[in-house]
Amino acid sequence: MPEQIPLNDGSAIPRLGLGVWQVDPAITAQVVSWGIQTGYRLIDTAEGYQNEEGVGQAIRTAGVARSELFITSKLRNGAHQRDAALRAFDETMNKLGIEQIDLFLIHWPVPSQDKYVEAWKTLIELRQSGRIKSIGVSNFNRNHLERIIGETGVTPVVNQIELHPRFQQRDVREFHIKHDIRIESWSPLGSGRLLSDPALEKIAGKHRKSVAQTIIRWHLQEGLIVIPKSVHQDRIATNFDVFDFELDAEDLELIRGMDSSGGRTGANPATAAFLF
């Protein structure tokens, strides 16, 4: 069972979870069920993934108490206005079939439409009503974080951002530490592009682990929350088998040297304007 990381609102989140981005809705329930059977307790979905219903089905049939699970979803980009956000949240809860969600995030700031502060105020309202346990954001840059904190006095518990060995985001980590905002890594394996990297293969061989396991272990040792995704039962299991080894100082230094300013694989939060 992965240990939990404390959040700034008094809650705690598992350090290792299962992401379901790009998982076909038709197989999501099966994939999440495999994850829960393996030992994952953090499940990360989003309105934009269109597979919340499958996550909900897995929750109901998992044979694990709801209180043991930590469920995350995210507000879609086209629903930042208060009324739209409330409707979208109701849809999420209906699809998941739960009374309270553990963590709800704003998926992207979409600064061009300039409504993310209104969305944040709506999440605060929903948390105050007891429907959300913890609130956070995803893909927020420092200026976006400073603005919502400055205008509401409420600090997100988590910022879920793209982060992997080729895009380590070290320039923003100090700010997050200062404000006690936990970083959660999406695309933690670099969208699969790192799985054949020779340097990582060498480190993995030294520890008799896979490259994926080595990268996931790196995230954990960096103090990050990590949510690898797979639709294969065996890989879901091996991705979870990362608690019986430790990367040494030489390994960590080598991986630190892989960081690149051009390593981003996803959209840039400063300019991303897609709505869904």
**C-alpha R_g of the chain:** 18
- Residue 226: enclosing H or E segment and its boundaries? strand 225-226
Pairing outcome for strands 101-106 and 70-75: parallel
Rounded CA separation 164/265 (Å): 10
* Residue 269 predicted with pLDDT over 80: yes
Question: Mean per-residue pLDDT for 59-84?
Answer: 97
DSSP state of 14: E
Whether the CB-CB separation of 89 and 96 falls below 8 Å is answered with no
Task: List pLDDT tens digits, range 135-183.
Answer: 999 999 999 999 999 999 999 999 999 999 999 999 999 999 999 999 9
Q: How many CA atoms lie within 13 A of 187 on its CB side?
A: 21
Query: How far apart (Å, rounded) are the C-alpha atoms in residues 11 and 91?
Result: 24
The first and second tokens of residue 61, run together, are: 């049939």
pLDDT (0 to 100) of residue 191: 87
pLDDT value, residue 174: 96
Residue 144, annotated ligand binder?
Answer: no
Give the pTM: 0.97
Domain boundaries along the sequence of the chain? 13-256
pLDDT of 2 over the 90 cut: no
Which residues are tagged catalytic?
49
Residue 70 CB coordination number (10 Å): 21
Contact criterion met (CB below 8 Å) for 84 and 110: no
Considering the segment(s) 13-256 as one domain, its CATH architecture is Alpha-Beta Barrel (3.20)
The CA distance from 2 to 127, in Å, is: 26
Rounded CA-CA distance 231/239 in Å is 12
Q: What is the spatial order of strands in the sheet that 70-75 belongs to?
A: 17-19, 42-44, 70-75, 101-106, 132-138, 158-162, 182-186, 225-226
Q: What is the pLDDT of residue 59?
A: 96
**What pLDDT, on a 0 to 100 scale, did the predictor assign at position 1?**
60
Provide the mean pLDDT of the chain. Answer: 97
User: Euclidean distance between the first and final Cα of the chain, in Å?
Assistant: 35
Give the confidence band of 109 by pLDDT, cuts at 50, 70, 90.
Answer: very high
